[in-house]
Structure 1
Amino acid sequence: MTKKILFISFLLATCCSFAQPAATANNKADANKAMYQSTTASFEIHGTSSIHDWVMTSESCTGLMQLLADDSSVSINEIEIQLEVTSLKSGKKVMDNKCYDALKSDAHPEIVFQLTEILEISDSSAERSSAVFRGLLKIAGVSKAVDVNVDIVRSNGTINIQGKKNLKMSDFAIEPPKALLGTLKTGNDIVIVFNLNFNEL
C-alpha cells in the first residue's frame, strides 16, 4: 500500500508541474486528462549470429501517453509506442534488408506496443519509480501479450521511461534471417532495449 501511495505521489508531482488554468464548463469533462508525446527516443534490437553479435538501432520511435487525475490519485491510463521497421539500421545494408524481409515490413511496416495494465510498482519516490508494464506487442503482424520491466524518472517536466525485454523471433512467427549463402545464421533470441522521453502536448 505504501508503494502505491508513493507512485501516486510521483505521478501527481508530474501533473502538478504542468498545471493548467481552471476548467470551464465546456472543457470540464477533459480537465483531468493530460496527454504526453515522446520527444526523443532510442530503440535497439540486440541479437546473435553464427559469426558475430549484432544490433539494429532507431531514433524514430514515437509514442503517446495519457495520465488521468482526480482529487486523490494520478495514474497512467494509456501508452502506445510505434516504430517504423525500416528506421532500424545496423550499419550493414545487406543485414538491414534481410531483417526487413524477416519482419515483413512491406505488409506490417510498424512495431507497436499498447499498454493494457500496470502489474507492479516498486522503489517509488517523488522522482523515480520502477514498474512492470503489461501490454500487447505487435511485430510482423503477430500480437503477443508481454510483461516489461521499466524504470520511470521525472526530471524538469520530462517523463523518461526505459527498459528492455528478452524475446524470441519464433514467438512472432519470424524466421531468423540468413546471409552469405546461409553461412551467417542469426539466433532466435533477441533483446529489445528502449529509452523514451515524454513531454506534455
Structure 2
Amino acid sequence: MLSTLPHITKYLWAIPTLLLWLTDPDPEREATVRVAPESEVVISGTTNVNQFSCKYNLHELELPIRLTYDEKAQHILFKNARLKLANDCFDCGGKTINKDFRELLQTKQHPEVELKLLYVDPPQPDRQTISVGMEIKIAGVARKYESILNCEQKEGICVKGTLSLKLTDFGLEPPRKVLGMIKVDNDIQVHMALQMNEI
C-alpha cells in the first residue's frame, strides 16, 4: 500500500500542469498590419567598375498583411508573415540595368522575391535591437538567415537592418557584361526599413 504513494504523488503533481494546459493552451494570435509608404526595401551590390542599388516600389504593398503568430517563451513564432516583392517593381535607375537585374533574378521563371519572417525574439525594454529569423527566396531558392535588426516602437514598429547574401547561395551565377569586362560581384545586400502599423 505504501509503495504506491510515490506514484499517486506523481499524478497529483501532473494535474495542475494538465489543467493549466487545458485552460491556456497558448493559442495562436492574429494581427493585421500595413506597411507605411516611407518604408524601404533595397537590393544593392557592386561590380568591378561601379555599384548598383535597386529600390522596391512599396506602393505595391498598400494592402494589409495578416499575421498569425505564437508567443513562446524564447521566440515569437510567425506562420504567414511574408512580403512578396515583384521583380518588375524594383527600380535600379535605368532601363538597361533594370533589364539586367530582372534577368539576373530569372524573372520569367520566378517573378517574385519573397521575404518570410520566421521568428522574433521578444523586444527588451532596455534594447533597441532584436534577433530575427528570416527566410529569403530568390529565383525559386529559399535560404534561412538569422540577423540582428534595429527595432523602434513609437507609432507602430519600425524594423531596420541589412542582410548580406551571396548570389551563388540561390543558384545564381554573377553575370558578366560588355564582352566579360564588367563582372557583378557575388555579394549583395538586402536593406530593409519597414514601418509597420497595426490596423
Q: What is the TM-score normalised by the length of structure 1?
A: 0.71
Contact 2:42–2:55 (CA under 8 A) maintained in structure 1: yes
5+ residue gaps, structure 2, are 1-26
Match of 2:173 in 1: 175
Match of 2:157 in 1: 159
Aligned-residue offset at 1:116: 2.0
SS at match of 2:196: strand
Match of 1:52 in 2: 50
State the distance in 1 between where 2:188 and 2:109 align.
22
Residue type of the partner of 2:174? Answer: P
Match of 1:186 in 2: 184
Report the CA distance shift for 1:112/1:31 in structure 2 as closer, same or farther (over 3 A). closer
Report the CA distance shift for 1:76/1:55 in structure 2 as closer, same or farther (over 3 A). same
Report the CA distance shift for 1:36/1:76 in structure 2 as closer, same or farther (over 3 A). farther
Report the CA distance shift for 1:33/1:130 in structure 2 as closer, same or farther (over 3 A). same
Number of aligned pairs?
166
Q: Show the 5 A alignment for 1:103-118.
A: 103-118=105-120
Report the CA distance shift for 1:76/1:37 in structure 2 as closer, same or farther (over 3 A). farther
Match of 1:42 in 2: 40
Aligned residues: CA RMSD: 2.9
Match of 2:99 in 1: 97
Identity across matched positions, percent? 22
Structure number, greater radius of gyration: 2
More helix by share: 2
Match of 1:3 in 2: none
Aligned-residue offset at 1:57: 1.2
Contact 1:65–1:77 (CA under 8 A) maintained in structure 2: no
